[in-house]
Amino acid sequence: MKNGLIISLVFLCIAASNITKHYPNYFPKPNYELNFSSNTYDLTQLGRALFYDPILSANNTISCASCHSPYNSFAHTDHALSHGIHDSIGKRNAPALINLAWQKELMWDGAINHLDVQALAPITHPGEMAESIENIIDKLQNNKLYPPLFKKAYGNSLINSQRMLKALTQFQLTLISDNSKYDKVRQSKDTFSVQENKGYKLFLKHCNSCHTEPLFTNYKFENNGLSIDSQAMDLGRFNITKIYKDSMKFKVPTLRNVGYTYPYMHDGRFKKLSSVINHYTSVNKEYKYISKELNHKILLSSHDKSDLISFLTTLNDRDFIFNPQNKFPRKILLQPREISN
Amino acid sequence: MKRCFLVILWINFFFSDILGQSHIKFEPTYESNLLILDSTYSDQTKITSIRFYIGHVKLLKDSQIMFEQPSYQLMDAELPETLTIQTPTNISYNKISFSLGIDSATNNQGALTGDLDPQNGMYWTWQSGYINLKLEGESKQPFTYHIGGYLIPFNTYRTVTLPMTFNKVYLPIDIILQEILTVKSKIMSPCDIAMKFADLLSESFFTDL
């Protein structure tokens, strides 16, 4: 009896620890319900398999991870614009997929309203994965690998678009980056160097109004004074709202893991952080519809710029980048997977 | 003859009573008759596809709700069974209200299934949102109308209320095309003209009264 009580108490504690918050207490409340308990482990693994599996593209060559690599904080380093099927080039830079639970709208222009339906955009885009949802469901049903994975995740092997999309959502919600040096300093486990501290003060003065800590974005759409790319003619948020003052507004990206996510801006036009900072110190304030946050002149000496970059590197989260839980699921995807029947 | 008709009517009522079910039927029409897909009409117009979402159907007796079905149904002229909404028989009503399209709350719910599965082709993948109505065909030139959008100022969701005693709701496609073809032959995103088209659609429904 007593033993039984102890066992059930231990069980309760394990259950309770499973549903504890998976993010620091200085993070705001997320927009999605986070459930990383043992109950959702199989759902996460299914989502992870789908994320890394090129089966989601028309000719089975492109996966989500093709443009969202774990080693680049799920962005695409060295590629200014996203690459898709048959070597097509997109018109935007693949953003980092981290801390998505806090995003209200997705994509650079906020075209997508929910993480579940985000995957539909690259999957069906003729220059990205060029596949239909119908075909994917068919391919998954006829692939030896997936019916058992869906069964593990959902209790039975029914495969439909909702189940596929929700599994992708679950995996992407687990991609929380919260263990950078900045976080360790906030948690009093580490301290900033003198230079980092100087950079932090400059950051708070000049950058924090849009790249607001602790997520380092306010998730708003802003016009940061970039000239329009004459080839892509991408007007950003205007394409969604059709309001003139929204032209050339793009979502403020997070600066977490900024060292892993170059090149920068919606079209990847800047290769280095120093070019980004130089843009903000030289931007033309007369530019039409420019963000009011950029109305004051940002004056930075070359020392200031180095200090600022030194602070920005404290936002890199090495533990996240090398977390084996986020990587290609070899055990699942490298199984023999000939098509059944 | 009249007697025969009455008998058929009686049998009809009798059986629906046993099943405890009746129905409301949504009928797209052309030149005052039930629309036939892919047939070329006297005005050289051919409709190849008409699909739309009907939801929140309510049958009312004056202002009292006698029947309510909050879900959405994807109606497709190609699949006649989808044009019917099952209702109980033991109710009397003199008014119907329903929505054309998917409301903003449902549009924000993420991945849904059944009639709301994005696989049905009634969902924009590049910009979140359901397509409330698709009307495609040709009239000298091809026309494509994909009417949707749930965000202000382009929220194309509409509510329709009509008097009704029998069980049919008509949508006169020929009259709608007369109004819209001269303005635009392609509408495929949430915009001003999609809003006007949504107004036109919601005003075009009529019943047997």
CB contact under 8 Å between B110 and A161, yes or no, is: no
Residues A253 and A276 in one domain: yes
The upper half-sphere exposure of residue A53, i.e. CA atoms within 13 Å in the direction of its Cβ, equals 23
**In terms of Cα–Cα distance, which of A293, A290, A329, A269 is closest to A145?**
A329
Contact with chain A for residue B119, Cβ under 8 A: yes
Residues A168 and A188 in one domain: no
Phi and psi for A221 in degrees, rounded to 5? -105, 125
Domain boundary among A176, A210, A225: A176
Among B108, B126, B191, the residue with its CB nearest the CB of A111 is: B126
Contact with chain A for residue B5, Cβ under 8 A: no
Among A113, A124, A169, the residue with its CB nearest the CB of B125 is: A124
State residue A339's pLDDT score. 55
- Looking at the structure of chain A, the number of domains it has is 2
A26-52: per-residue pLDDT in tens?
Answer: 999 999 999 999 999 999 999 999 999
Tell me the pLDDT of chain A (341 aa) as tens digits: 455 555 554 444 444 444 456 899 999 999 999 999 999 999 999 999 999 999 999 999 999 999 999 999 999 987 778 778 777 777 889 999 999 999 999 999 999 999 999 999 999 999 999 999 999 999 999 999 999 999 999 999 999 999 999 999 999 999 999 999 999 999 999 999 999 999 999 999 999 999 999 999 999 999 999 988 878 889 999 999 999 999 999 999 999 999 999 999 999 999 999 999 999 999 877 777 899 999 888 999 999 999 999 999 999 999 999 999 999 999 999 987 755 44
Residue numbers in B near A121 (CB within 8 A):
125-126
C-alpha–C-alpha distance, residues B162 and B58, integer Å: 11
Inter-residue contact A69 to A77 (CB < 8 Å): yes
Residue A113 lies in a domain: yes
Residue numbers in A near B126 (CB within 8 A):
111, 121, 124-125
C-alpha–C-alpha distance, residues B20 and A266, integer Å: 59
Residue A30 lies in a domain: yes
**In terms of Cα–Cα distance, which of A169, A170, A199 is closest to A182?**
A199
State residue A21's pLDDT score. 62
Residue A263 lies in a domain: yes
- The interaxial angle of helices A302-312 and A194-206, nearest 10 deg, is 100
Residue A168 lies in a domain: yes
Contact with chain B for residue A134, Cβ under 8 A: yes
Domain boundary among A157, A176, A195: A176
Residues A124 and A36 in one domain: yes
Residues A306 and A209 in one domain: yes
For chain B, residues with pLDDT lower than 70 are 1-20, 209
Residues A153 and A197 in one domain: no
Residues A128 and A47 in one domain: yes
Residues A161 and A208 in one domain: no
Residue A253 gets which letter from DSSP? P
Q: Which chain B residue is nearest to residue A109, measuring alpha carbons?
A: B127
Q: Which of B 44-83 lie inside 8 A of A, CB atoms?
A: none
Residue A7 lies in a domain: no
Q: What is the CATH number of the domain that holds A98?
A: 1.10.760.10
CB contact under 8 Å between B108 and A124, yes or no, is: no
Among A114, A133, A241, the residue with its CB nearest the CB of B119 is: A133
Residues A60 and A121 in one domain: yes
| Residue A144, SS3 per DSSP | coil
Residues A265 and A295 in one domain: yes
State residue A284's pLDDT score. 77
**In terms of Cα–Cα distance, which of B85, B145, B74 is closest to B112?**
B74
Complex prediction ipTM: 0.86
Residue numbers in B near A112 (CB within 8 A):
127-128
Domain boundary among A153, A176, A199: A176
Render the burial of B57-93: b for 16+ CB within 10 Å, e for the rest: bbbbeeeeebbebeebbbbbbeeeebbebebeeeeeb
Among B119, B127, B192, the residue with its CB nearest the CB of A137 is: B119
CB contact under 8 Å between B117 and A160, yes or no, is: yes
Distance (Å) from the alpha carbon of B193 to chain A's nearest alpha carbon: 13
Residue numbers in A near B123 (CB within 8 A):
117, 120
Residue A152 lies in a domain: yes
- Determine the structural domain holding residue A153 and report its residue range: 23-176
State residue B11's pLDDT score. 47
**In terms of Cα–Cα distance, which of A183, A140, A208 is closest to A27?**
A183
**C-alpha A308: how far from its chain's center?**
23
Phi and psi for A324 in degrees, rounded to 5? -60, -25
Could you give the dihedral angle defined by the CA atoms of residues B181, B186, B187 and B188, in that order, rounded to the nearest 10 degrees? Answer: 160
Bridge partners of B169?
B26, B207
State residue B209's pLDDT score. 54
Contact with chain B for residue A166, Cβ under 8 A: yes
Residues A202 and A239 in one domain: yes
Residues A191 and A68 in one domain: no
Residue A239 lies in a domain: yes
State residue A107's pLDDT score. 96
Residue A131 lies in a domain: yes
Contact with chain A for residue B30, Cβ under 8 A: no
Looking at chain B, list the stretches that DSSP marks H as alpha helix, in order from N- to C-terminal side. Answer: 2-19, 104-107, 173-180, 192-204
Residues A67 and A163 in one domain: yes
Task: Please report, for residues A153, A264, A278, the alpha-carbon distance to residue A287 in angstroms, rounded to integers and kept in the order given.
Answer: 51, 20, 16
